[in-house]
Amino acid sequence: MRGVFKALEFELVANTFEKLEAVTSRTQMTLYLVELFKKTPADVIDKVVYFMQGKLWPDWKGLPELGVGEKGIIRAIVLATHARESDVEKLRRKYGDLGTAAAMLKEELEKKSKGAVGILAFLPKAQTAKKKLTVQEVYDTLAKIALAQGEGSRDLKIKLLARLLTDASPREAKYIVRFVEGRLRLGVGDATIMDALAIVYAGSQAFRPVIERAYNLRADLGMIAKILATKGLEELKKIKPQVGVPIRPMLAERLSNPIEILKQVGGKAIVEYKYDGERAQIHKKDDQIWIFSRRLENITRQYPDVQEYAKKYIKAREAIVEGEIVAVDPETGELRPFQELMRRKRKHDIHIAMKEVPVRVYLFDALYVDGEDLTQKTLPERRRKLEEIIEQTEDFRIAEYIITDKPEELEAFFLKAIEDGAEGVVVKAIHGKAIYQAGARGWLWIKYKRDYKSEMIEPVDLVAVGAFYGRGRRGGKYGALLMAAYDPETDMFRTVCKVGSGFTDEDLDKMMEMFKPYVIPHKHPRVDSKMKPDVWFQPAIVAEIIGAELTLSPLHTCCYNWAKQGVGISIRFPRFIRWRPDKGPQDATTTKELYEMYKRQLRKIVEQATPA
């Protein structure tokens, strides 16, 4: 397509980083990415996309992180700039950013070098020209840093980083340091990257759905970009699931009225138990097993027992199936809450954790079996295939379910699910359009959980987008958080409430450190807020919040103008319950869900006020 590839200078990427950091308009961000992608050779487009995502490779690969702490970064800056550690620390304290410190010290070093007079001044320009860093060189060096393990690896990581910073310009050094520190903070989401890729390689943003579907089936945006750049859009249309590469999960909406639920899914439906466990996508290829979480993290190591179940009881050579891993009481066999599974996250003594927290697997979908992509098949077809390939046992079986079109049967099954220790049920459409919508939330699946009947007795999952400093006993700490719901239609986070109650002293003590990697100097471009907190965050950390009721508020932007002009929806008397490390920001409660909850609340008020 482009003939011989010319190496892409990292300077172009660093320049784009700087432009992106300075704007809050998503449209402008897309244009900057388009400009960069047009200049990017196809052989490194994947690396550029990873840089934009702030990572070296997809998280699910389970490869090591860079592993250079703050002290190591400071040491590398010292080696590269010949400064003193105290100089670096002073600048870091002043600007709150090691990247800025590195850039300023590099500028200072360059000024000294230009002022020096010696034999180099009389050499031809070609001999004295400084070598420019390339994207490939920066990527390869950072990969070596991440993969360096064992004795002496710490010193090797620092030397490799120092060498990179020595060759870097001040601007390049700034963003290399931020990348290593995990604080790139560009505000660019995957949706914006896909928009730019569609414009550059397909000619129009209108082709983004093709790119998005490929990405949903193979959660590696760098790889998808490279296929698009080297083989074109038609090749992306042929993408199907691949064992070992996670599929972005299909998500459910939520309602609380059985009649309304069945109406939404088209009448007759499969109704399954909604277990309080960890959603798992299990991949099998011969005797090799991978297990991915809802957030596409590789959690295989945490579940040696599930690996054995999958090897024994999935009767297919290759398969991708979905289910819920649920903790069970080792003595009674009763289902236990999700929090019990956190003990499975131990890095060591996993076999002890297995005895303390045995698990059971409840399967509910098959996405791929022996070369056949099932994601375009209807749910009944997928379920038939699942039943064909699973040898069911007490600990590895298909989720409890019924098929019904009767609201009273749905309600009775829901109550049985609660009695059996589940959270509620999921109602799934079985009509001719009920395909697996990877990466999407839609009305093909609807959750009906225990507490929805009283609206705000049911907690919601919201994303922290800012913080307010506390007073009195909370002085010097974050005293409250600004929380937002996710709007998937616009890929934005819209504020719902300011929550300051429910936190323990331990929560408050840890909060500043927890949010430190996500602090940004201005409102994130994907955040819509009228309120201005003391500190802005990149949307990343999800918390479970409960409140007294949903109310209208001119201060919040969630569902703004939906119920009434000039107001949004807010939570009255919000209270923190717990952090949700198993959920990403896009998994948060949506604006549409909150609006449905608000409408149900209004209906209930009207019913209570109407005489019998």
pLDDT category at 79 given cuts 50, 70, 90 is: very high
Reported as type and span, the H/E element at residue 467 is strand 460-469
Other CB atoms closer than 10 Å to residue 582's CB: what's the count? 18
pLDDT score, position 395: 95
pTM: 0.81
The yes-or-no answer on residue 274 being catalytic is yes
Reported as type and span, the H/E element at residue 366 is strand 359-369
The per-residue pLDDT for range 503-553, each reduced to its tens digit, is 988 899 999 999 999 999 999 999 999 999 999 999 999 999 998 788 888
Other CB atoms closer than 10 Å to residue 220's CB: what's the count? 22
| Homologous superfamily of 251-455 | DNA ligase/mRNA capping enzyme (3.30.470.30)
Which residues of the chain does CATH 1.10.3260.10 include?
10-54+187-237, 70-181
pLDDT of 2 strictly over 50? no
| Homologous superfamily of 10-54+187-237 | DNA ligase, ATP-dependent, N-terminal domain (1.10.3260.10)
Nearest to 274 by CA among 456, 452, 427, 385: 427
Amino acid letter for position 203: G
The per-residue pLDDT for range 441-490, each reduced to its tens digit, is 889 999 997 654 444 668 899 999 999 998 777 888 999 999 999 999 99
Name the average pLDDT for the chain: 90
CATH of the domain spanning 459-608, picked from 2.40.50.140, 2.170.120.20, 1.10.3720.10, 2.60.120.10:
2.40.50.140
pLDDT of 127 strictly over 50? no
Catalytic option among 157, 226, 274, 284:
274
* Farthest CA pair distance, the chain: 100
pLDDT score, position 587: 94
Other CB atoms closer than 10 Å to residue 589's CB: what's the count? 24
pLDDT score, position 355: 87
pLDDT score, position 16: 97
Q: How far is CA 69 from the centre of its chain?
A: 23
pLDDT score, position 64: 87
Q: What is the CA radius of gyration of the chain?
A: 26
pLDDT score, position 610: 52
Lowest-pLDDT choice from 111-120, 291-300, 455-464, 560-569: 111-120
pLDDT score, position 603: 75
Strand 575-579 and strand 568-572: pairing?
A: unpaired
Reported as type and span, the H/E element at residue 386 is helix 379-389
Rounded distance, CA 604 to CA 452, Å?
12
Rounded distance, CA 571 to CA 582, Å?
23
pLDDT of 576 strictly over 90? yes
Nearest to 173 by CA among 114, 91, 117, 118: 91
| Homologous superfamily of 70-181 | DNA ligase, ATP-dependent, N-terminal domain (1.10.3260.10)
pLDDT score, position 337: 83
pLDDT score, position 236: 95
